[in-house]
């Protein structure tokens, strides 16, 4: 109805410049829609609902009397912030896709689009002083843990302005209280338990979020870590991002039990809708409280989905159907879910989201510009950072006459 009126207005009345008539006769409700095409935003922010409470999906629980709340409160500011974060990760990953296809990014590139609600929801529930470690699908977390987009993209393109000066690449980015980016499947899980041990040892009330995928969930070292974490009551939140496929192997073909939230056995567990940022946030908050109260570790399974294949060398359609991917995109996209919730509860305007999108696109584009124009690391620095706090040492080059220098 409103679309027709708009069309009528622009097609018929525009030349007659009679839109002022509509201002008098049409209810304020239609005003924005009709005038939206020529006026930016006419509503003031005071018109929006500042806060709303939403019903969220109940979590399945394992060895717990009760789970996280089934209602979540979202303020307008929080909503816009989560939207911004998820959209930034989305656009950054799509930009990485583009750069990879242009061969400006090489080697491994495991993209996170589709899973944004996990990174955004977790970060919303923990403090910057808490710790986080994940596997190789790490760009989203690198961002949420505080690294600038341009430093992430420049690391992917192997430039000296990359967060690891081009020495690490996609899977080896670090930041304070963010321990990467780890290439060996499952190895990050005992590391995370160790970080939690350090938190307990230092008595600082911090927790460590230790992420792994459905593929890593069968690794023996996970169970070794679970055992010690439970034995010593380490403040570790083990989180399985179940995106249904470990590379090309579906969960049913890899795991005798796909109830990943129960795989901690004696460790309590939660199964969470990983496409809903509010679900993820509430569950992570619940888990963090559990750990901080000295009850020991907890396992969370986030049910999520990746749109891309396992990595850029995997089209992602030989082991799953395009229909399945499309269905998730249209029905469960985490960014759309949040946006629709906010719009239908009058928490923000369509134009606001559009403005945010435009700003993010610009930011990502500028970051990509930086990442493609920044110089590669200088060869003189090839051997640096072998040891910390050591005097310079000689490093053998490719032949006996090539003596290179390494400084800390």
Partner 1 sequence: MGDSSGSVLTAALLCFFAMDEELERDERVFLLGEEVAQYDGAYKVSRGLWKKYGDKRIIDTPITEMGFTGIAVGAAMAGLRPICEFMTFNFSMQAIDQVINSAAKTYYMSAGLQSVPIVFRGPNGASAGVAAQHSQCFAAWYGHCPGLKVVSPWNAEDAKGLLKSAIRDDNPVVFLENELMYGVPFEMSEESQSKDFTIPIGKAKVERQGTHVTMVTHSRYVSHCLDAAAVLAKEGIECEVINLRTIRPLDVDCIETSVMKTNHLVTVEGGWPQFGVGAEICARVMEGPAFNYLDAPATRVTGVDIPMPYAKILEDNSLPQIKDIIFSVKKTLNV
Q: What's the N-to-C CA distance of the chain in angstroms?
A: 68
Residue 126 within binding range of partner 1, rule CB under 8 A: no
What's phi and psi for 132, nearest 5 deg?
Answer: -145, 140
Alpha helical stretches, state H, 241-385: 251-254, 277-292, 322-332, 334-344, 350-373
- Total residues at interface with partner 1 (CB under 8 A): 51
Task: Provide the mask over 256-285, with x wherever binding to partner 1 is found by CB under 8 A and - wherever it is not.
Answer: ------------------------------
Q: Which is nearer to partner 1, 31 or 221 (CB)?
A: 221
CB of 264 to partner 1, least distance (A): 14
CB of 84 to partner 1, least distance (A): 26
CB of 205 to partner 1, least distance (A): 14
Q: In the set 56, 133, 153, 277, which binds partner 1 (CB under 8 A)?
A: 133
CB of 203 to partner 1, least distance (A): 10
Q: Which is nearer to partner 1, 110 or 308 (CB)?
A: 110
Residue 335 within binding range of partner 1, rule CB under 8 A: no
From the list 8-16, 59-67, 343-351, 381-389, the region that binds partner 1 by CB under 8 A is: 381-389
Residue 205 within binding range of partner 1, rule CB under 8 A: no
Q: Which residues contact 158 (CB under 8 A, 6 or more apart)?
A: 106, 166, 169, 376, 377
Q: Which is nearer to partner 1, 102 or 202 (CB)?
A: 202
The residues with which 212 forms a beta bridge, in sequence order, are 240
CB of 126 to partner 1, least distance (A): 15
CA-angle at 180, arms to 185 and 202, nearest 5°: 110
- List binders of partner 1 among 135-194 (CB under 8 A): 163-168, 172, 174-175, 179-180, 182-184, 187, 189-194
Beta strands 208-213 and 236-242 are parallel
Residue 67 within binding range of partner 1, rule CB under 8 A: no
Determine whether 254 is exposed, middle or buried from the number of CB atoms within 10 Å of its CB (0-12, 13-18, 19+). middle
Radius of gyration of the chain (CA): 24
Residue 375 within binding range of partner 1, rule CB under 8 A: no
Q: Which is nearer to partner 1, 188 or 285 (CB)?
A: 188
Coil, helix or strand at residue 235: coil
Residue 39 has a CB neighbour count (10 Å cut-off) of 11
> Cα dist. 14→7, 22, 32, 38, 40 in Å?
10, 11, 16, 11, 18
Q: In the set 17, 103, 322, 388, which binds partner 1 (CB under 8 A)?
A: 388
Which residue, chain included where needed, has tokens 């800390």? Answer: 408
Q: Which residues contact 311 (CB under 8 A, 6 or more apart)?
A: 108, 109, 110, 111
- Max Cα-Cα span within the chain: 88
Structure tokens at 266: 């004696």
Q: Which is nearer to partner 1, 299 or 349 (CB)?
A: 299
From the list 32-40, 114-122, 200-208, 294-302, the region that binds partner 1 by CB under 8 A is: 200-208
Q: Which residues contact 196 (CB under 8 A, 6 or more apart)?
A: 131, 207, 208, 210, 229, 234, 235, 236, 291, 297
Q: Which is nearer to partner 1, 102 or 389 (CB)?
A: 389
Q: In the set 5, 64, 80, 197, which binds partner 1 (CB under 8 A)?
A: 197
Q: Which residues bind to partner 1, rule: CB under 8 A?
A: 131, 133, 163-168, 172, 174-175, 179-180, 182-184, 187, 189-199, 201-202, 208, 220-221, 223-225, 227-228, 231-232, 384-390, 393, 395, 400, 408
């Amino acid at each position: 109805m409103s679309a027709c009126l708009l069309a009528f207005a622009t097609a018929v009345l525009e030349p007659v410049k009679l839109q002022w008539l509509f201002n008098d006769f049409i209810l304020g409700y239609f005003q924005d829609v009709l005038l939206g095409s020529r006026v930016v935003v006419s509503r003031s922010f005071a018109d929006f609902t500042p806060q709303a409470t939403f019903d969220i999906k109940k979590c399945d629980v394992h060895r717990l009397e009760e789970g996280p709340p089934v209602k979540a409160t979202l303020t307008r500011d929080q909503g816009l912030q989560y939207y911004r974060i998820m959209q930034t990760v989305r656009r950054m990953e799509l930009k990485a896709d583009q750069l990879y296809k242009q061969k400006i990014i090489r080697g491994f590139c495991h993209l996170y689009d589709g899973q944004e609600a996990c990174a955004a929801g977790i970060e919303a529930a923990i403090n910057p002083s808490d710790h986080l470690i994940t596997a190789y699908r790490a760009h989203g977390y690198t961002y949420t843990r505080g690294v600038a987009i341009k430093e992430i993209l420049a690391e992917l393109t192997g430039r000296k302005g990359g967060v690891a000066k081009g020495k690490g690449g996609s899977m080896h980015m670090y930041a304070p209280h963010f321990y990467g980016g780890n290439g060996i499947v499952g190895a990050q899980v005992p590391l995370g338990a160790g970080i939690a041990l350090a938190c307990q040892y230092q008595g600082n009330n911090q927790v460590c979020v230790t992420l792994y995928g459905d593929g890593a969930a069968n690794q023996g070292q996970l169970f070794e870590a679970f055992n010690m974490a439970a034995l010593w009551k380490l403040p570790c939140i083990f989180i399985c991002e179940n995106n249904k496929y470990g590379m090309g192997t579906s969960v049913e073909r890899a795991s005798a039990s796909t109830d990943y939230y129960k795989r901690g056995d004696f460790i309590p567990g939660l199964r969470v809708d990983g496409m809903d940022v509010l679900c993820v946030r509430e569950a992570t908050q619940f888990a963090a409280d559990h750990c901080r109260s000295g009850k020991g570790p907890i396992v969370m399974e986030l049910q999520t989905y990746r749109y891309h294949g396992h990595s850029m060398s995997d089209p992602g359609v030989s082991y799953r159907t395009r229909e399945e991917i499309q269905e998730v995109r249209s029905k469960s996209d985490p960014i759309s879910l949040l946006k629709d919730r906010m719009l239908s509860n009058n928490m923000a305007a369509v134009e606001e989201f559009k403005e945010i999108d435009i700003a993010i696109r610009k930011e990502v584009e500028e970051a990509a510009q930086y990442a493609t124009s920044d110089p590669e690391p200088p060869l003189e620095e090839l051997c640096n950072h072998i040891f910390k706090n050591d005097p310079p040492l000689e490093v053998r080059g490719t032949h006996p006459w090539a003596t290179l220098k390494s400084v800390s």
